[in-house]
Amino acid sequence: MSESSGTAIRLPDAAADLLREVPTGLWIGSGPCPSSDGSTFDVLNPATGGSLATVANATVDDAVAAVDAAAAAADEWAATPPRTRGEILRASFETITRRREDFALLMTLEMGKTLDESRGEVAYGAEFFRWFSEEAARINGRVTTAPSGNGEIVVTKEPVGICLAVTPWNFPLAMGTRKIGPALAAGCTMVVKPSEDTPLTTLLLAKVMSEAGLPPGVLSVIPTMRAPEVVAAVMADERLRKVSFTGSTQVGRKLLEQAAGHVLRTSMELGGNAPFIVFDDADLDAAVDGAIAAKMRNGGEACTAANRILVQNSVREEFTAKLTERIAATEVGPGWEPGSLLGPIINARQRERIADLVDDAASDGAVLHTGGSILPGPGFFYQPTVLDQIPAGAAILREEIFGPVAAITGFDTEDEAIALANGTEFGLASYFYSTDLARVQRVSRRIQAGMVGVNRGVISDPAAPFGGIKQSGLGSEGGSEGIQEYLNTKYVALPPI
Ligand code: NAD
């Protein structure tokens, strides 16, 4: 289906063929199928508000069918040689990389980010498959003689079994590959419930992986507008052994409660409230570059986004002026248009939330340096915004902004900066800029976060463990840690030799 008529904005020429190729059925077993009740939903283009595609809307019965397919494939996939599992992931990596422009355009169309951002995500997202294709062949156990001499201790690793992945809309490819890569490398089968806002990328991914030789049932994709009931049905299925979720802390909590029913393994990548601290000994221009990356990357719609920019008062005015100049110059427009540096917000509801946070802070006395308004016209655009002198207690300092809004607060001492940085229930990403080595060592230790960026505004790397502490989640994705989330440890006690 093509973009609804009546919108003035033209899609790129390549969009029509690409959208024709993307499967719009549920991907269960060996390929696309309609939902059991025949219902569908529209996937919207956030730059126009028009419909991009009409996708099958999974029911509870469909979810059970996906678990059936995962169960039917489980034993054979677990017994498939690790090298073979790795080769299928590697072949998928090659295809995604070769088809970089297609994946990038599809993400720009359904999620809104600029094509350059989408290309970056293709490289990042595909890399999880290359990384875990290599990890598949390095699943190690150990053998030791019991210290008493009274036996041999054999420790082996086994796939946990059937997994459910529930993913968000902000990184449609990478949030999938970061879970699918390690699960399949470990020998697990997986059902993915992608975000209802961005199911197309995951559906194209399933097709590409099937063409790369992935056996039917190893990966199923069940887009749905009925996430609460469909996910609850899978969570209640005794065959499921693990859930991996990326999304809001609020939904993560619900899934943790459901996981208690059958004591499922869980990985939770939840919300963040990242502090971005600029000390007065920082290279200020580098700090502005870093803040632009940490704030504006992905339009601010990232769980790692700098949510609270904390600047030492002696350099705050200078830093704020430089940051404001850069942010005010950000070109806003559809992500596929050359020159666009900031695309739309994912949907009207999210945009409303951002506007409310900004209005609330401004009415409480925060100083608005640029932006601060919803942009008129089709699509869900919001002005790039800088706020300073935000009063303590404002909602914008407690909640995830998830948009292109830089929220600046001043501090005087290192202790005060640390107290502000840690004064949140979240603990995902954090950043700070300083040229003082002793301070770098001190602050890295004292910040309560799963990830710390020192003099850099981008930290994600498929070879590094990504994850949060406190209410930002449980477990790590990526790195050599990532595959452990999909492996059980078994101890075999042997008699002494
Ligand atoms: P969300 O929690 O609303 O939705 C995430 C997924 O959960 C979607 O697939 C959605 O359909 C599903 N879902 C919603 N309600 C559900 C329910 N009751 N039961 C089962 N599933 C349900 O989050 P979102 O708006 O898609 O994404 C934004 C959030 O994700 C932000 O809070 C952000 O910080 C977080 N996020 C975290 C990471 C990370 O790695 N920590 C990465 C990206 C996004």
Strands (E), 93-229: 142-145, 152-159, 162-166, 189-193, 219-221
ipTM score here?
Answer: 0.94
Q: Quote the ligand 1 centre to 438 CA distance (angstroms).
A: 38
For residues 294 and 265, state if they share a domain: no
Q: Could you tell me if the CB of 254 is within 6 A of ligand 1?
A: yes
pLDDT in tens, 215-242: 999 999 999 999 999 999 999 999 999 9
Test site for ligand 1: of 170, 173, 267, 380, most ligand atoms within 8 A of the Cβ: 170
481 and 408 part of one domain: no
Helix, coil or strand: residue 180 = helix
For the purposes of burial, counting CB atoms within 10 Å of the CB of 66, is it exposed (0-12), middle (13-18) or buried (19 or more)?
A: buried
pLDDT over 50 (residue 459): yes
Ligand 1 geometric centre to CA of 153 (Å): 41
The reply to whether 24 and 162 lie within a common domain is yes
Query: 195 C-alpha to center of ligand 1: Å?
Result: 8
Claim to verify: residue 419 and residue 485 sit in the same structural domain: no
DSSP secondary structure of 293-312: HHHHGGGG-STTSEEEEEEE
- For the chain, helix (H) and strand (E) counts, in that order, are 15, 22
Residue 222 in contact with ligand 1 by CB distance below 6 A: no
Confirm whether 450 is domain-assigned: yes
Tell which one of 246, 264, 349, 401 to mutate to probe ligand 1, the residue whose CB is within 8 A of the most ligand atoms. Answer: 246
Residue with tokens 């699509």: 379
Query: In the numeric block, which tokens belong to residue 441?
Result: 């060592």
Catalytic residue (one of 110, 127, 269, 301): 269
Please state whether beta strands 367-370 and 487-494 pair in parallel, antiparallel, or not at all (unpaired): unpaired
CA of 411 to the centre of ligand 1 (A): 32
Q: Please classify residue 398 by burial: count the beta carbons closer than 10 Å to its beta carbon, then call 0-12 exposed, 13-18 middle and 19+ buried.
A: middle
Identify the CATH number of the domain in which residue 305 sits.
3.40.309.10
Q: Please list the alpha-helical segments (H only) found in 297-410.
A: 313-328, 348-363, 395-398
Q: What is the pLDDT of residues 167-210, one digit of tens each?
A: 999 999 999 999 999 999 999 999 999 999 999 999 999 999 99
- CATH assignment at residue 57: 3.40.605.10
Structural domain contains residue 463: no
Q: What does the CA dihedral 307, 452, 475, 259 come to, rounded to 10 degrees?
A: -20
Half-sphere exposure of 225 (CA within 13 A, CB side): 10
2 is a domain residue: no
Helix (H) or strand (E) holding 60: helix 60-79
Kindly give the distance from the C-alpha atom of residue 388 to the centroid of ligand 1, in angstroms, as a whole number.
29
Sign of CA dihedral 346, 231, 96, 130: positive
Alpha helices per DSSP H over 364-451: 395-398, 414-422, 437-446
Q: Check pocket membership of 186 for ligand 1, CB cut-off 6 A.
A: no
Helix, strand, coil share of the chain (percent; to 5): 40, 20, 35
CA pair distance 113, 152, nearest whole angstrom: 55
88 shares a domain with 24: yes
Total residues found in the chain within this entry: 497
Q: Which two tokens stand for residue 207?
A: 């097709």
Please indicate whether residue 158 is annotated as part of the active site: no
Closest CA to 207 of 64, 24, 2: 24
Q: Are residues 288 and 156 in the same domain?
A: no
* Centroid of ligand 1 to alpha carbon of 176 (angstroms): 13
DSSP-assigned beta bridge partners for residue 221: 27, 192
Distance CA 477, CA 186 (A): 13
Q: Alpha carbon 25 to chain centroid distance?
A: 23
Q: What average pLDDT does range 246-259 have in this prediction?
A: 98
- Average pLDDT of the chain to the nearest whole number: 97
| Percent of residues, the chain, with pLDDT higher than 90 | 97
Whether residues 115 and 132 share a domain: the answer is yes
Scan for tokens 């009415």, then name that residue: 363
Tell which atom from ligand 1 comes closest to the C-alpha of 272: 34
* Whole-number pLDDT of residue 377: 80
**Cα dist from 34 to 24, 39, 222, 326, 472, whole Å:** 8, 8, 10, 47, 36
Residue whose Cα lies nearest atom 8 of ligand 1: it is 195
In this predicted structure, the answer to whether residue 7 has a pLDDT above a threshold of 60 is: no
320, part of any domain: yes
Which atom of ligand 1 lies closest to the CA of 194? 9
What pLDDT, on a 0 to 100 scale, did the predictor assign at position 263? Answer: 97
Ligand 1: does its nearest atom lie under 6 Å from the Cβ of 246? Answer: yes
Question: Given the CA of residue 303, which atom of ligand 1 is nearest to it?
Answer: 34
Q: Domain check: are 265 and 280 in the same one?
A: no
Is 170 near ligand 1, meaning CB less than 6 Å away? yes
Q: Are 363 and 391 in contact (CB under 8 A)?
A: no
In ligand 1, the atom with minimum distance to the C-alpha of 247 is 30
In total, how many domains does the chain have? 2
Q: Which pLDDT score, from 0 to 100, does residue 9 have? A: 80
* Residue 325 placed within a domain: yes
Verify that 99 and 247 share a domain, yes or no.
yes
* Domain boundaries, position 485: 13-270+472-489
Determine whether the shortest distance from the Cβ of 231 to ligand 1 is under 6 A: yes
Ligand 1 geometric centre to CA of 194 (Å)? 10
Residue 266 shares a structural domain with residue 278: no
Which among 107, 113, 195 is the best mutation to test ligand 1's pocket, defined by most ligand atoms within 8 Å of the CB? 195
Please indicate whether residue 353, judged by its CB atom, sits closer than 6 Å to ligand 1: no
Instruction: Indicate if ligand 1 lies below 6 Å from the C-beta of 301.
Output: no
Distance 47 CA to ligand 1 centre (A): 21
The confidence score (pLDDT) of residue 5 equals 39
- Mean pLDDT within 279-306: 98
pLDDT of 144-176, one tens digit each?
999 999 999 999 999 999 999 999 999 999 999
Residues 258 and 175 in one domain: yes
Q: Establish if 496 belongs to a structural domain.
A: no
Task: Give the residue among 321, 320, 311 at the shortest CA–CA distance from 279.
Answer: 311
Q: How far is the CA of 271 from the centre of ligand 1 (A)?
A: 8
Q: Residue 236 CB: number of other CB atoms within 10 A?
A: 12
Q: Over 50: is that where the pLDDT of 1 sits?
A: no
Is residue 5, in this structure, part of any structural domain at all?
A: no
How far is CA 35 from each of CA 25, 27, 52, 202, rounded to the nearest angstrom? 7, 10, 19, 17
pLDDT on residue 8: 64
R_g of the chain, CA atoms, integer Å: 23
Does residue 205's CB lie within 6 angstroms of at least one atom of ligand 1?
Answer: no
370 and 263 share one domain: no
How far apart, in whole angstroms, are the C-alpha atoms of residue 465 and residue 477? 6
> Is residue 251 lining ligand 1, measured as CB closer than 6 Å?
yes
Structural domain contains residue 459: no
268 lines ligand 1 (CB under 6 A): no
Scanning the structure block, which residue is given the tokens 């029509």?
16
Q: Is the CB of 473 under 6 A from ligand 1?
A: yes
